[in-house]
Chains A and B, each alone.
Chain A
Amino acid sequence: MVELGAKASALSRPFARLSPALRARLGILCVALLAVLFPIIHGNDADIDSAANALAFAALALGLNIVVGFAGLLDLGYAAFFAIGAYAYGAFASWQIQPHWSAFWEPFQWLTLVARVHQPTGDLVHFQVSFWLMLPLSAGIAAFFGILFGAPTLRLKGDYLAIVTLGFGEIVPIVARNTPSITNGAMGLNGVVPPQLFGYSFGVKALPYYYVAVALIALLIFTSYRLKDSRVGRAWMAIREDEIAAGAMGVDRVRFKLLAFAIGAAFAGATGTLYVAKLQTATPDMFMFPVSVMILVMIVFGGIGNVWGVVLGAMILQILQSWILEDMSEWLHALGRLIDVGWLQQIQLASSIELIFGVILVTMMLYRRQGLIPATRRTAPLSLEEQAAQIQRGGFRSLQGLGTVDRSQTDTLLAIKGLTVRFGGLVALRSVDLTVPAHGVVAVIGPNGSGKSTLFNVMTGLVSAEAGSINFAGEEIRGLAPHRVLERGIARTFQNLRLFAGLSVLENILVGMHARLKTGAVGALARLPWNRREEREARERALEILALFGNRLLPRADHLAGSLSYANRRRSEIARAIAARPRLLLLDEPTAGMNPAETLELVEQIKSLNQLGLTILLIEHKLDVVANLADKVIVLDHGEKIAEGTAAEVRRDPEVIRAYLGRSAAVA
């Protein structure tokens, strides 16, 4: 009976037997075939033209998706890069700029980049740089401007970033309008040279542009996917999810944000060149705010962060605009004639496309923020066996996943001297001294608000100190950016948990390894053998680290970190920090929110980490944990160190008893 049912379902879903990877490949093949065959099946030139335009906008949507969807940087002036790419081709392949001929141009003529035009008043230069050369060149120029515009905005919060990008998005068309010598101003460019391929000029027919657009889209989808599933994509998503945690886990935020701006802009630059070659003119109006909004609507509609989603969103909206609304208007006119209603015969739905965009934007935001195809996938529920936690005692059983710890340092690993931090008038830390011996465990205790977390924040570069020094392994690290601190070997967890909630547990761990991996944007695209090996090894190691916690994390490797229980979030944060291969591990209240059994389990695990050679500095409230773990205890109160010693010594210190344990203990 069961077998029959299974067979029936297998018969009804013939693709269910195929592996997901194979199914995905088949799907892509079908889409590609459809794209290639479309003009052959459907020969209408106007429709092919619309399809080519739709593809151009899909390309823009893919570019904006890198910036907004992957890196989480809302860019409201994205059309500026489209404009830059368009005018780049427009300037280098049109009759717009015609300097006088001189010997300087001869090598360029030889390279066929320019032509000599004979004029009675003197010979002129005609720029005719090949479209195929300009395509990557425009991408490069736009990427340069992406970095230029992105650089000043890096420190800004999301909504202000949006405003500044909007400003740049406005300035570019205005500059285009006001510099007619290069752009011919509001009149638009003259005589843009159509692309040629092996002597065949594309002219004004839509078909060749359509195929170029298909190829471009294929390239951009490929690029998007390769980047997304790489060290680069994970760094972007980490920034998107929690910038501070991303920095603390070793992501160079400046660099990766600029990279996102640059790659996003490059997509738009190449698309601009294609678009202007197809239209053979460009006016500033083509790149104004409404265009930026339209691209934003496309990615919101399709699903921010989802590559196929944004392509689909762009295609649907473009097709809506150029086909469906026209047809619907015709039907309404016919209806109007039929029932003799004047205004129905007048209606032009296509002119209300922007209204429809606005309605779509608001509706999606209110009712389906994740878009048509959400970027995050569902995960299968766990089996009962997987859910039942196996309590592990005695620390980590296997430690090979941790790799080796540098045991060369034998004396003091961390020495803090005279550290003072001030927030406005409040002194958070006052001249604190602290040393952590290599391979030791030091605990910092003190009431809430006594400056413990500030101590961690200043060590990891999140807060700047007013005075003092932080010496780590013989090197001054005070004032280093968070990712530099991590690179030197200090990894931390956060009291309030800063996992990347929208990433899977495994991805969280992989972000933790960021500083220990090397693949950059080029490597992510090329996937050379060493990139593949690095990625494979990283994933293996990440799974080994998850496996340290028994079946607590491993079955949930593909679950979103935001869906974990409190204790598992704590474990994941520790796992993420371990993944960075630190020499010094900073744990901020690792057992907060855990029950006694879980606490005991974790204490033993921390102990085994220490036995492996890891130096540990922890903040803790549960004093039994401290007593069990720490070789040395530092007591902070009101930002000052009031005691230091073994747990037993600290306990006898009258100052500590008064500040920390209250007056009854002082009496007792």
Chain B
Amino acid sequence: MLEFRAVDTHYGDLHVLKAVDYRIEAGEIVCLLGGNASGKSTTMKAIMGIVTPSRGEILYEGQSLNGVSVAERVRRGIAPVLEARRLFPRMTVYENLEMGAYTRHHGHEFDEDLQRVFQLFPRVEERLAQLAGTLSGGEQQMVAIGRALMARPKLLCMDEPSMGLSPAYVEQVFDIIQEINRQGVTIFMVEQNANMALQIAHRAYVLQTGQIVLSGPAASLRENPLIREAYLGELRVEEAPAAE
């Protein structure tokens, strides 16, 4: 469904992604793990077309996304759930949802999608007329996911959906992600909460300083000692990594 072929990106003088390859099949939940400044958010921006690869190619449904506008990507079914929600704070919840469906025309489809969002998030319906900036963090995350669903996506790109949420909400959000996936939406998510993400994901990539250092089925990655050390950071106090 989505494929990165040896993608490089630069930000000014900084070389961010270095010959990165991803492959995401339809119907999967794929998780991208990595520390801060490893290139995760750049990956998301490259998929959406905010960042242009300096080399390599991104393919979506077999077609190159080179030169394809952001609007066209959304229209073709790629929708983002942005890091830290990024709702439009001084617009109502309803208007935020409308913005999600910006590339599509209103009509009965819009109402259908709205109903679908309400089914997933009954709370959103209650808050429709409220300004998005006045919602709690968890409610904002629901609106952010709902906003992305309003684009009727085939591929949902989620940037740290658990960030800043309390544990109860995190579990709820992850349940909903699985539910959305069961409805046929492919999910590519960047996460920090690695254990949680690896539980629901089918496959995962581990990104470090702009390079993929590890990839494979989520279940095997969970058991991989490398990931436990390098990223999950199991506190291996008993055997603190001596300066080898």
The interface of chain A, by Cβ under 8 A from chain B, is: 393-394, 425, 447-450, 495, 562-567, 589, 592-596, 600, 604, 621-624, 626-628, 638, 646-648, 650-651, 658-659, 661-665
Contact = CB atoms under 8 A, between A and B. Distances in A.
Interface in B149-174: 160, 162-164, 166-167, 170-171
Given A566-B209, A592-B35, A664-B198, A622 B233 contact: yes
A647 B237 contact: yes
Given A448-B192, A627-B236, A628-B240, A659 B12 contact: no
24 contacts: A447-B164, A447-B192, A448-B160, A448-B163, A450-B164, A563-B13, A564-B13, A595-B209, A600-B241, A621-B35, A622-B35, A623-B232, A627-B235, A627-B240, A638-B164, A650-B235, A651-B234, A662-B170, A662-B195, A662-B196, A663-B171, A663-B195, A664-B196, A665-B195
Contact of A661 (B12, B195, B240): B195
A658 B167 contact: yes
B72 interface: no
Given A448-B163, A592-B37, A648 B194 contact: no
B36 A663 contact: no
B36 A661 contact: no
Interface in B185-212: 192-196, 198-199, 208-209
B36 A562 contact: no
Nearest to B196: A662
Interface centre among B134, B163, B229, B235 (most CB of A within 10 A): B235
B238 interface: yes
Given A495-B36, A662-B194, A665-B195, A627 B237 contact: yes
A601 to B, nearest CB: 10
Interface centre among B12, B170, B171, B209 (most CB of A within 10 A): B209
Contacts of B26: none
A621 B233 contact: yes
B38 interface: yes
Q: Lowest 5 CB-CB distances: which A-B pairs, in order?
A: A623-B233, A662-B195, A449-B164, A593-B37, A651-B235
B235 A647 contact: yes
> Which secondary structure characterizes the binding site on chain B?
loop
A447 B162 CA distance: 9
A565 B163 contact: no
Give the size range of B's interface with the partner: 35 or more
A661 to B, nearest CB: 5
A651 B237 contact: yes
B51 interface: no
A662 B198 CA distance: 10
A265 to B, nearest CB: 36
Given A566-B14, A592-B37, A593-B209, A394 B236 contact: no
B84 interface: yes
Contacts of B241: 600, 624, 627-628
A632 to B, nearest CB: 13
Contacts of A565: 14-15
A568 B69 CA distance: 35
A595 B208 contact: yes
Interface of B: 12-15, 35-38, 84, 134, 160, 162-164, 166-167, 170-171, 192-196, 198-199, 208-209, 222, 229-238, 240-241, 243
A564 B15 CA distance: 11
Contacts of B171: 663
A593 B233 contact: no
Given A589-B36, A592-B37, A647-B237, 15 more contacts: A447-B163, A566-B37, A593-B209, A595-B208, A621-B36, A621-B233, A623-B233, A623-B235, A627-B236, A651-B235, A662-B193, A662-B199, A663-B196, A663-B199, A664-B196
Given A394-B243, A648-B238, A663-B195, A624 B233 contact: yes
Contacts of B243: 393-394, 600, 604
Nearest to B170: A662
Interface centre among A562, A628, A646 (most CB of B within 10 A): A628
A638 B166 contact: yes
A394 B170 CA distance: 41
A656 B169 CA distance: 16
Contacts of A393: 243
Contact of B13 (A562, A647, A648): A562
A650 B134 CA distance: 35
A664 B195 contact: yes
B85 to A, nearest CB: 11
Contact of B229 (A448, A566, A604, A624): A624
A592 B13 CA distance: 18
A604 B195 CA distance: 28
Interface centre among B38, B166, B195, B232 (most CB of A within 10 A): B195
B244 to A, nearest CB: 8
B145 to A, nearest CB: 17
Contacts of B166: 638
A495 B35 CA distance: 12
Nearest to A593: B37
A665 B235 CA distance: 11
Contacts of B199: 662-664
A621 B194 CA distance: 12
Contacts of B37: 566, 589, 592-593
Contacts of A604: 243
Nearest to B226: A596
Contacts of B193: 447, 662
A391 to B, nearest CB: 12
Interface centre among B13, B38, B160 (most CB of A within 10 A): B13
A566 to B, nearest CB: 6
Contacts of B208: 595-596
Contacts of A564: 13
A584 B233 CA distance: 26
B137 to A, nearest CB: 8
A647 B236 CA distance: 9
Nearest to B193: A662
Contacts of B233: 621-624, 626
A122 B208 CA distance: 90
